[in-house]
C-alpha cells in the first residue's frame, strides 16, 4: 500500500503497533521537482564517440523506428495477419515486408519536394536537440496553402502513388487486320507532376550506386 501510487519515497513513515504517523519528506520532494518533466539520458559510449548532442539526437530517432513499425504493421504494408504455418515462410514474409518498407522510405525521402514533408533536413543536425522540434517555414507553407511553389497541389505519399496509378499501359488491337494477334502497346503520357515524381526517383539510384 505504501508505494501503490509510486509516491512512497516522498514520505517519512512511523508505523508502530498501535499508531501510525507520517510526514512529507521535503528534501526528496524538492529533488524530484527539480527534475520534473526532464529526461536523463545516459550512454555507455565515450564522449569522443558520442557527445551530448549526438546522444539526445540518437534517442529522439527512436520515434522513427516506432513510426516504421506502425506503418509496417497497420498503415501501409499490412504485414498482419500472417497466414503461414511454417517458420521459414513467416521469416520470408517478414523479410519481404522489410524490403518493401526500405523501398518506401527511400521513395518518401526522394519525394519530399512533392509531399507534406520538411525539405530542410540538414537543419536537424545543427539545431538544439533539446528544444522542441519545429517545422521549417517552407514546410508550414505547404501545410497552410496545400500547394507547392508552382501552384500545384501538395500530395501525401499515398495520394501521390494514386496519382501515378493513373498512368496505364494499354494493349490495343490493330483494326482491319485479319490476324487478331496484331497489337500495339501505348502508355499514358505522364503529366508534369507525374514526370517530376519519376525524375526524383532517379536520385535513389544515385544514392545507392
Q: Residue 100: which pLDDT band, with cuts at 50, 70 and 90?
A: confident
- Rounded CA-CA distance 114/203 in Å is 14
- Give per-residue pLDDT as tens, 124-170: 777 888 888 888 888 999 999 999 988 899 999 989 999 999 999 99
Q: Residue 208: which pLDDT band, with cuts at 50, 70 and 90?
A: low
Q: Residue 69: which pLDDT band, with cuts at 50, 70 and 90?
A: confident
Q: Residue 60: which pLDDT band, with cuts at 50, 70 and 90?
A: confident
Write out the three cell numbers for 23. 510526514
What mean pLDDT do residues 66-87 have? 77
Sorted by where each begins, the domain ranges of the chain are: 1-38, 52-208
Helix then strand then coil, in percent of the chain rounded to 5, is: 45, 10, 40
The CA–CA distances, whole Å, from 152 to 136, 156, 185 equal 20, 13, 30
Which uninterrupted H or E stretch holds 53? helix 52-60
pLDDT of amino acid 132: 82
Q: Over the chain, what is the mean pLDDT?
A: 86
- Rounded CA-CA distance 181/147 in Å is 46
- Per the listing, cell 524490403 goes with 99
- Give per-residue pLDDT as tens, 15-47: 888 998 989 999 989 988 888 887 788 899 998
- Rounded CA-CA distance 49/168 in Å is 51
Which residues have CB under 8 Å from 57's CB, separation 6+?
A: 124, 125, 129
In this structure, of 70-79, 121-130, 188-197, the range with the lowest mean pLDDT score is 70-79
pLDDT of amino acid 167: 93
pTM of the model: 0.68
- Rounded CA-CA distance 57/123 in Å is 12
**Sign of CA pseudo-dihedral 26, 27, 28, 34:** positive
Give ∠ CA 195-158-188 in degrees, rounded to 5.
Answer: 35
DSSP 3-state of 22:
strand
pLDDT of amino acid 200: 93
Give ∠ CA 43-46-51 in degrees, rounded to 5.
Answer: 75
Amino acid at each position: 500500500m505504501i508505494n501503490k501510487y509510486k509516491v512512497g519515497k516522498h514520505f517519512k513513515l512511523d508505523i508502530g503497533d498501535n499508531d501510525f504517523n507520517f510526514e512529507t519528506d521535503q528534501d526528496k520532494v524538492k529533488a524530484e521537482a527539480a527534475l520534473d518533466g526532464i529526461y536523463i539520458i545516459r550512454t555507455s559510449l565515450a564522449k569522443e564517440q558520442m557527445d551530448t548532442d549526438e546522444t539526445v539526437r540518437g534517442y529522439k530517432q527512436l520515434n522513427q523506428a516506432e513510426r516504421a513499425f506502425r506503418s509496417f504493421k497497420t498503415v501501409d504494408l499490412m504485414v498482419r495477419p500472417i497466414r503461414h504455418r511454417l517458420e521459414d515462410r513467416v521469416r520470408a514474409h517478414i523479410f519481404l515486408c522489410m524490403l518493401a518498407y526500405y523501398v518506401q522510405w527511400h521513395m518518401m525521402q526522394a519525394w519530399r519536394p512533392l509531399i507534406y514533408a520538411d525539405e530542410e533536413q540538414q537543419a536537424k543536425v545543427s539545431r538544439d536537440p533539446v528544444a522542441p522540434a519545429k517545422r521549417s517555414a517552407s514546410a508550414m507553407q505547404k501545410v497552410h496553402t496545400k500547394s507547392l511553389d508552382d501552384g500545384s497541389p501538395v500530395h501525401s505519399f499515398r495520394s501521390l502513388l494514386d496519382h501515378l496509378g493513373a498512368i496505364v499501359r494499354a494493349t490495343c488491337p490493330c483494326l482491319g487486320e485479319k490476324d487478331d494477334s496484331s497489337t500495339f502497346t501505348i502508355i499514358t503520357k505522364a503529366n508534369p507532376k507525374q514526370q517530376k515524381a519519376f525524375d526524383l526517383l532517379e536520385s535513389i539510384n544515385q544514392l545507392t550506386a
